[in-house]
Structure 1
Amino acid sequence: MSTLVCFHAHPDDEVFTTGGVMRLAADAGHRVVLVTATDGAHGEFPDGILTDGETLAERRRSELAESADVLGVSRVVMLHYLDSGMAGTPENGNPDAFCNADVEDAAGKLAAVLNEENADVLTIYDPNGGYGHPDHIAVHVVGLRAAEIAGTKHVYETTTNRDHMRALVEANPNWSEENSPPDMESFGLPESEITTIIDVGSVMDAKRRAMQAHATQIGDFGPFLDMPLDMLQTAFGLEWFRRVGGGPGLTETELPL
């Protein structure tokens, strides 16, 4: 049995780029560990969804636990940094926000988990964090350093196939601008840089149920939850990665677990 550790910025991030891989790994008998850097306290959420006295951070922790259960996660670890908010927002300036965390300190916390779990594979984000979110960029930097400290050999950057997404948007003219990537030229990575493509179509039901678990984040998932299965497969049936340190070569169809 191998151990897969997926490092993400906020609760709900785990679903988009690694939800299928986590479920597939768990189904194959591997141990899956999910680490989130922040509590997602600065995310947007629908009015009236929280109960009296409940904070968004509390709700998102419970949503994360439900999603993790659906995806076969054996252990959830939260590093308890503050959510940095979207790029350009006032929250970016908070010295306690994850985007301002001391890299060595944060990497040491993640490395401790990697060592405890004897991790075989670590997933992080690409250098732009997928789409430029400060916390996602910090996950990339901190994750790389943690892997160095812990000696984790197999590190993969989760990403989105920019060319695939561009074609998908162009083929769906009814999609609103708010549901399209903010800047296609910096969104994800071009197909030529992707080393690993995982077909997760067989676990799409679990991936959809994990989306549904994050009820406060319906703004992120809403456009996709009611999609017919074939459309959902087109949008989310593949998960893309770039192997850190990997050069040109044959495209991998599985992680080294």
Structure 2
Amino acid sequence: MATLVFVHAHPDDEASQTAGTMARAVSEGHRVVLVVATNGDHGDAPDDLADGETVVARRRAEMAASAAAIGTHRIVWLGYADSGMTGWDQNDHAESFFRADLEEAAGRVAAVLREESAEVVIGYDWHGGYGHPDHVKVHAVTKRAAELAGTPRYLEGSMNRDAVRRAVEAVRAAGVDPGWGADDPMDDGNPIGTPEDELHWACDVGEWMEVKRSALEAHASQSDARELLAMPEPLFTAVLGVEHYLEPARPEGLVRGWFLDESGVARSA
């Protein structure tokens, strides 16, 4: 059995992006550890905050509930401040993750990798999927941490831009305008995710959609989670039922299989 460490920028990113992979790994007996870079303090402030309850406290509680739904074995909080979107004043806050020293932050993640004797570490693609400063920083920090710790396998979570385009076109064909397209500029001016022919793994997590939904429900204070949960079940599975990864050490070509099962290579697309 392997130990996998997932590095995410904010509480709720794990639910929308890798909850299926995490749950599948747990179901197979692997150890799953989650590192959360920021406290998510610039997320939505829910109307039902109790007296004295902060957004950070709520989001930590939600993260605990999501982790329980997934079966995550350990959560590590790095404790940086949420940097906000590109161009926000929060980017330059002294405690923001965006401003964090790369070697210092990577060293902290590397310490977790060594402590866990992790075989696999998973961060984000080069632009964090959609250009959020904290997501871009997760890419740099995780890649460097893998180098420092000598972790055998380093993967990057991403979104399949071509699959997103197909989903958006299907929604439009059904008479609904989502208001954006897969090729539109995201937070950093780049389109979402990664082209399909540059990805390495397409992992079917359809069997774990209820877990993924439960993880998202745990983050119900956040509008992004609520928007995903509002999708009809067939669309929810179509959009979120396959989780995509790059693995820079692998040869080119998308494998529609499970990256923890090397026999999946035989099913290369």
TM-score bracket, shorter-length normalisation: over 0.9
Tell me if the contact between 2:202 and 2:254 (Cα under 8 Å) persists in the aligned partners. Answer: no
2 CA distance for matches of 1:128 and 1:243?
A: 15
Q: Secondary structure at the match of 1:171?
A: helix
Could you state the TM-score of these two structures normalised by the residue count of structure 2?
A: 0.90
Tell me if the contact between 1:195 and 1:251 (Cα under 8 Å) persists in the aligned partners. Answer: yes
Deviation at 1:52, TM superposition (A): 1.3
Of residues 183, 200, 212 in structure 1, which corresponds to 2:217?
212
2 CA distance for matches of 1:113 and 1:214?
A: 25
1 CA distance for matches of 2:227 and 2:181?
A: 8
> Which deviates more, 13-22 or 240-249?
240-249
Tell me if the contact between 1:154 and 1:244 (Cα under 8 Å) persists in the aligned partners. Answer: no
In the alignment, residue 164 of structure 1 is paired with which amino acid? Answer: A
Tell me if the contact between 2:160 and 2:199 (Cα under 8 Å) persists in the aligned partners. Answer: yes
Deviation at 1:221, TM superposition (A): 2.0
In the alignment, residue 223 of structure 1 is paired with which amino acid? Answer: E
Structure 1 moving runs of 4+ over 6 Å: 178-181
In the alignment, residue 179 of structure 2 is paired with which amino acid? Answer: E
Going from structure 1 to structure 2, the CA distance change for 1:169 and 1:178 (only over 3 Å counts) comes to: closer
Residue aligning to 1:234 = 238
Going from structure 1 to structure 2, the CA distance change for 1:45 and 1:177 (only over 3 Å counts) comes to: farther
Going from structure 1 to structure 2, the CA distance change for 1:127 and 1:99 (only over 3 Å counts) comes to: same
In the alignment, residue 139 of structure 1 is paired with which amino acid? Answer: V
Q: What stretches of structure 1 of length at least 5 have no aligned partner?
A: none
> Which deviates more, 138-147 or 241-250?
241-250
2 CA distance for matches of 1:29 and 1:72?
A: 10
Going from structure 1 to structure 2, the CA distance change for 1:116 and 1:81 (only over 3 Å counts) comes to: same
Q: Secondary structure at the match of 1:95?
A: coil
2 CA distance for matches of 1:7 and 1:166?
A: 26
Deviations 1:151-170 (A, max 9, x none): 00211110000011011112
> Which deviates more, 68-77 or 242-251?
242-251
Q: Secondary structure at the match of 1:233?
A: helix
* 2:197 is the counterpart of 1:192: yes
Q: What stretches of structure 2 of length at least 5 have no aligned partner?
A: 262-269
* 2:144 is the counterpart of 1:145: yes
Deviations 1:23-43 (A, max 9, x none): 000000010000000000011
2 CA distance for matches of 1:42 and 1:133?
A: 13
Residue aligning to 1:4 = 4
Deviations 1:62-104 (A, max 9, x none): 0000000101100000000111011111101112210110011
In the alignment, residue 132 of structure 2 is paired with which amino acid? Answer: H
* Number of residue-to-residue matches in the alignment: 255
1 CA distance for matches of 2:128 and 2:235?
A: 25
- What's the Cα RMSD here? 1.7
1 CA distance for matches of 2:109 and 2:161?
A: 29
Residue aligning to 2:155 = 156
* 2:223 is the counterpart of 1:223: no
For 1:1-257, list aligned pairs within 5 A: 1-46=1-46, 48-173=47-172, 174-177=176-179, 183=185, 186-217=191-222, 219-249=223-253, 251=255, 253-256=257-260
> Which deviates more, 95-104 or 172-181?
172-181
In the alignment, residue 125 of structure 1 is paired with which amino acid? Answer: Y
1 CA distance for matches of 2:122 and 2:221?
A: 25
Q: Secondary structure at the match of 1:70?
A: helix
Higher RCO (CA < 8 A, seq sep 6+): 1
Identity %: 46
